[in-house]
Amino acid sequence: MANIGYARISTIDQNQDLQLDALKSAGCDLIFQDSVSAVGTTRPGFDQALNKLTPGDALVVWKLDRAFRSTLDALTTWERLHKRGVKLMIATLGVVSDTPEGRFFFRGLASAAEFERDLISARTREGMAAAMRRGRHVGRPANTSREQLLTIRDELRGGQDIAMLAKTYRLSETVLRRRLKAHGFLSELELSDSGGS
């Protein structure tokens, strides 16, 4: 059983000494380091630390924000480590994930992550509603070309069923109607008369 430490600094003028001293005091046998921002796409030191861990080991970090991009990222990593039989220790808090206090802390973290997800979801819904009120397209970008819409318009005028055309072009009827209307190819009345609701 080993304590594997991880330290990260995000700018060239930061100093890792404080983190390294705390990790050594926490009994780390090996310490991996990165000098990248938290949102950096690659963190080789963090990946090496994770790969080195075996069941019974502990990943030791100075603070949550030194190792994780968000509350959700911390929680997801903790869950992955727990499944591998690895503990997570936060040196500045004295929290170890396999103690009653540690489990309480991470359950609180799970609640915070759920709250964070709910807030993001609510903001996304509010933003979409505001965009729709302004007449902006919301959702996946249109993937039907103008030429395809012209063909669909002609087929509708020739008596083709809109439900069948929507299926052919892998669209819902509602989306197809919206795209035809947005391009001014058919009025709502013409669409209503072309089959489908």
Which residues are known catalytic residues? 10
The single residue listed with the structure tokens 């509602």 is 174
Pairing, β 95-96 against β 87-90: antiparallel
DSSP string, the chain: --EEEEEEE-STT---HHHHHHHHHTT-SEEEEEES-TT-S--HHHHHHHHH--TT-EEEESSHHHH-SSHHHHHHHHHHHHHTT-EEEETTTTEETTSHHHHHHHHHHHHHHHHHHHHHHHHHHHHHHHHHHTT---SSPP---HHHHHHHHHHHHTT--HHHHHHHTT--HHHHHHHHHHTTSS-HHHHHTTS--
- What's the first-to-final CA gap in the chain, in angstroms? 66
Rounded to whole angstroms, the Cα distance separating 112 from 120 reads: 12
